[in-house]
Amino acid sequence: MTTERVDRLRETLQEPLLVTNPVNVRYLTGFVSTNAAILVEPDRVRLFSDFRYAEAAKEVEGVEFVETKRALLRGLAELLDGRLGIEADHISYSGFKTLEDGGLELVPRSGTVEALRAVKDEGELDAIRRACAITDRVYERIAGERFVGRTERDVAWQMEQLFHEEGGHGVAFPIIVASGPNGSKPHARATDRAIAAGETVVIDAGCAIDGYFSDYTRTFATGLLPDELKEAYAVCLEAQEAGLAGARAGVSGMDADAAARRVVEDSPFAATFGHGLGHGLGLDVHEAPRLATDSSDTLAAGNVVTIEPGIYLSGLGGIRIEDDVVVTEDGVENLTGFTKDLISVE
């Protein structure tokens, strides 16, 4: 499978490509390391890493392993010559200069491997489906728990334990549990705030399976909500469904975003949905394509993306509803099974 990925990459290259993004190295070779690079040439692939990873690197099929010193790019500057493409969005400016000062002729390239990664194959979809099935069960279980009086941090830790019990390979990112006014911060972390009655609790969480991630958000109510939050929930849900209905192969990321955004902008909550509608999901929690007002991507069959509008009311609370879907020729396949009805937890 990975050899096939390298072959597909080769078809897109105008010069050999030095892949330094560890996630791209993993995608192309299966090799997991924070200090590795591969050089993809027409007739061979070399994998470079340091002593700490040498034993594991020797087990990678289809590549020649070359052990380098810990300062990987300095090592590569000594070993390599000629004209190479580099991953300009990943390599640091210092790293670029190190290679250039070593006499290499560098061609900045962007999104080359990422474009391949955006379209998932069956093995990748299978891993994401398994991560989503686990996430469904975790949300089912947390929805049966007490919330009021517990800290956000305590609920987040319980979620993490549930992900482990259900077979996840770790969480996708630090779990967000944002209650009451904390919910108006889209990227709040779980805090020591005790969850109160009569407010919203935004939970954003996912897990890994074989390196691939799920990423769901649900917003719960702790008992009766103020009318404004109830109405915001209804608008957010309508926007989320419009987002699902608007996504299919061939639609631009901008138009997909607009389908959901229109619902919020035409409501009393105009201008409260301050982020994009969604993002690709795979070996990274955020990858191509982007669904946003400034996206230049177009959706393709096999993309896996999130659909996650939000409404953020400063001082009062937040609402966000997020599903993970596979883009198909005529719509989306929703991988998220957990209900979007407003659930009351107490």
Q: Out of 8, 10, 26, 189, point to the residue binding a copy of itself (CB under 8 A).
A: 189
Whole-number Å distance between alpha carbons of 102 and 118: 33
Minimum CB distance to a copy of itself, residue 142 (Å): 17
What is the per-residue DSSP string for 124-170? HHHHHHHHHHHHHHHHHHHTTS--TTSBHHHHHHHHHHHHHHTT-SS
Q: Out of 157, 166, 245, 265, point to the residue binding a copy of itself (CB under 8 A).
A: 157
Whole-number Å distance between alpha carbons of 8 and 206: 30
Number of chain positions touching a copy of itself (CB under 8 A) = 43
Q: Is 275 in the site for a copy of itself (CB under 8 A)?
A: yes
**Spatial contact of 166 and 123, defined as CB atoms under 8 Å apart:** no
Minimum CB distance to a copy of itself, residue 342 (Å): 23
Q: Is 54 in the site for a copy of itself (CB under 8 A)?
A: yes
CB nearer to a copy of itself: give 8 or 150.
150
Minimum CB distance to a copy of itself, residue 164 (Å): 6
Q: Out of 3, 51, 82, 344, point to the residue binding a copy of itself (CB under 8 A).
A: 51
Minimum CB distance to a copy of itself, residue 100 (Å): 10
Query: Interaction with a copy of itself in 277-296: which residues (CB under 8 A)?
Result: 292, 294
Q: What's the gap between Cα 345 and its chain centre?
A: 28
Q: Is 93 in the site for a copy of itself (CB under 8 A)?
A: yes
Q: Out of 188, 247, 251, 277, point to the residue binding a copy of itself (CB under 8 A).
A: 188
Strand positions, DSSP E, 184-339: 200-205, 208-209, 212-213, 216-221, 278-280, 287-291, 304-307, 310-313, 317-320, 323-328, 331-334
Q: Is 266 in the site for a copy of itself (CB under 8 A)?
A: no
Q: Is 82 in the site for a copy of itself (CB under 8 A)?
A: no
**Spatial contact of 148 and 197, defined as CB atoms under 8 Å apart:** yes
Minimum CB distance to a copy of itself, residue 174 (Å): 7
Whole-number Å distance between alpha carbons of 76 and 69: 9
**Spatial contact of 139 and 343, defined as CB atoms under 8 Å apart:** no
Q: Is 276 in the site for a copy of itself (CB under 8 A)?
A: yes
| Interface positions with a copy of itself (CB under 8 A) | 32-33, 50-56, 69-71, 86, 88-97, 108, 110, 157, 161, 164, 170, 174, 184-189, 274-276, 292, 294, 312, 314
